[in-house]
Amino acid sequence: MKNRKMAIVAFLLVAVMCIGAGYAVLTDILDIQGVANVSATEAEKVFESKIYFTDAVANDGGNTAEVNGNTPDKATFTVNTLAGKGNKASFTFTIKNANEDLDAVVTPAIASNSNATLFKVYSDWAGQPRTIVAGASETYTVTVELLETPTETVGTSIAIELTAVSSEPASNG
């Protein structure tokens, strides 16, 4: 009796496996369902952390420019050498898009100017965003112009901040 029960159980198991295998042979559709969640906020943070200033150069002696090591999306520069109305000083910054697969639409903006009444600040980007392709760099030149001749020694400190938005790379075909 015991052997007969084992034989029936074994037969049923083999039959179920054969039915499953037969169904698999006759069916060519595999339906797998699942859910994937991606946090856009976290993805954007990762994206933004890969857009930064890599270099800051004062093009005229006596002035300073630097990238903030703790927040590389900010750069500062100080103007001390302008003496007469219309005198200018320029600074060149390199902006890097270290993302491997996303282009970046970047807009640098003057965040502060400690003496805006005497110093006009403008850039070669003219306030317009530019697309920096994945893995590439662009230069950004800022010019500071003295608006009137001062009666005493004056200077200004200026800060620039980057804003970047991800962009799908342009297709080549």
State residue 173's pLDDT score. 44
- Convert the pLDDT of each residue in 38-79 to its tens digit: 565 666 666 767 888 888 888 887 888 888 776 788 888 888
CATH code for the domain defined by 42-167? 2.60.40
- H helix or E strand, kind and range, residue 67: strand 64-67
Mean pLDDT of 12-23: 80
- Convert the pLDDT of each residue in 115-135 to its tens digit: 999 999 999 988 789 999 989
- Convert the pLDDT of each residue in 132-157 to its tens digit: 998 999 999 999 999 998 888 888 89
Query: pLDDT band for position 3 (50/70/90)?
Result: confident
What are the extents of the domains in the chain? 42-167
Q: How far apart are the first and last CA of the chain?
A: 74
The DSSP result for 39-56, as a single string, is -HHHHHHHHHTTEEEEEE
* Better-predicted residue by pLDDT, 33 or 141: 141
- Convert the pLDDT of each residue in 82-125 to its tens digit: 888 999 999 999 999 988 888 889 988 888 899 999 999 999 98
